[in-house]
Amino acid sequence: MEINITTFSQGETEELGTRFSSVLVPGDVVAMFGDLGAGKTAFVRGVIRGFGLDTYVSSPTFSIVNEYSCPDCRVAHFDMYRIGSEEELYGTGFYDYLDGNSVIFIEWSENIPFAIDEEAIRVSIEKGEGDIRNIRIESPREIRF
């Protein structure tokens, strides 16, 4: 299934992430696609707020992965911007997070197509004019939020 939503501000994209958080369970992988500044981190920030964590979520650009412990689950937030091979991906510890205990977000999934499972929920953000963002959520299972 596919859901298409347009947002008109960063706050709206965060709000969408917060609503979307209600469908997620440990073991879910959310593969994110979209250009620099599309709003991927903003979306994840909203999700983590939805998980009940009151902390500022910033881009894991240099750390590659940031972990969060929410009241009901753990979150691993990846930025694959600088990852280009299976070997580099392995070095990030990515595969260790696929143990079913964490919800995983992957910014720059474009760089690791070989590692994105069919089961993953895909979130693609396309920039429009100004602050317009066209957001597509594709899920192999029925989701409602």
Ligand X SMILES: Nc1ncnc2c1ncn2[C@@H]1O[C@H](COP(=O)(O)OP(=O)(O)OP(=O)(O)O)[C@@H](O)[C@H]1O
Query: From ligand X, Mg ion, none, which one binds at residue 37 (CB under 5 to 8 Å depending on kind)?
Result: ligand X
For residues 29 and 128, give the distance between their C-alpha atoms in angstroms, rounded to a whole number: 26
| Window contacting ligand X (CB under 6 A); options: 19-27, 37-45, 64-72, 94-102 | 37-45
Which of 2, 36, 56, 114 is the binder for ligand X (CB under 6 A)?
36
Residue 118 burial (CB < 10 Å; 0-12/13-18/19+)? exposed
Q: Tell how far CA 128 is from the center of its chain.
A: 20
Which 54-93 residues touch ligand X, going by CB under 6 A? Answer: 59
Phi-psi category of 98—alpha, beta or left, where left has phi over 0 and alpha has psi -120 to 50? alpha
Closer to Mg ion by CB, 84 or 140: give it: 84
Give me the amino acid identity at 130: G
* The only residue of 13, 41, 66, 111 in contact with Mg ion, by rule CB under 5 A: 41
Q: Does 7 help bind ligand X (rule: CB under 6 A)?
A: yes
- The answer to whether 106 and 112 have CB atoms below 8 angstroms apart is yes
CB of 81 to ligand X, least distance (A): 6
Q: Is 26 or 59 the residue whose CB approaches ligand X more closely?
A: 59
